[in-house]
Amino acid sequence: MRSCIPAHHRSFSPQWQLAADDCDAKADHLREQAKIRHDSSARSLPLLHLGGYVDVQDHANGRWDHVGVIVGIGQRRDYLVKMGSGRILWRNRRFLRPHRPMTPVGVKGQGTHHTITPQQPDPEEHHNLELPQRRGSRQRREPQRLKVQWHASTYD
């Protein structure tokens, strides 16, 4: 085998080939042991659903102080999150958690957050309502506008 790369003629001897194979086998064994140690304490996070509210961890300080809505799901544990400001960001599942309000529903006077689910009106009932147009009952007068007369010394 000819090449432009300089190599010693003994670098391809069988003893060096066996040493390289032993080194590769040892690296595979160490990699497998590391995976076993990692998998013993690791847990998978539950999936998040579209339209669900999530807390988003701030990457600068590590606090969970942003709230967003899941608007898309990626292929590898990443989610498209729409923030309150209207920004849409991709975030890994590790930095998202389901939103839990600070105050339980129905309890007043504690905390500042209350979760209220708006009642949806019945669509058929909404179409049947015909409301009369509201008009004011007061008499309208024509506005008094400033009139400039160039030949007079005062304004009307």
Q: Report phi then psi at 141, rounded to 5.
A: -115, 155
pLDDT for the residue 153? 72
pLDDT, position 130: 60
The Cα–Cα gap between 32 and 40 comes to 12
pLDDT by 10-residue block (mean), the chain, 156 residues? 74 85 95 95 90 94 94 92 93 94 62 49 53 75 82 70
pLDDT on residue 139: 86
pLDDT at 96: 96
Report which of 51, 82, 52 is spatially closest to residue 66, judged by C-alpha positions: 82
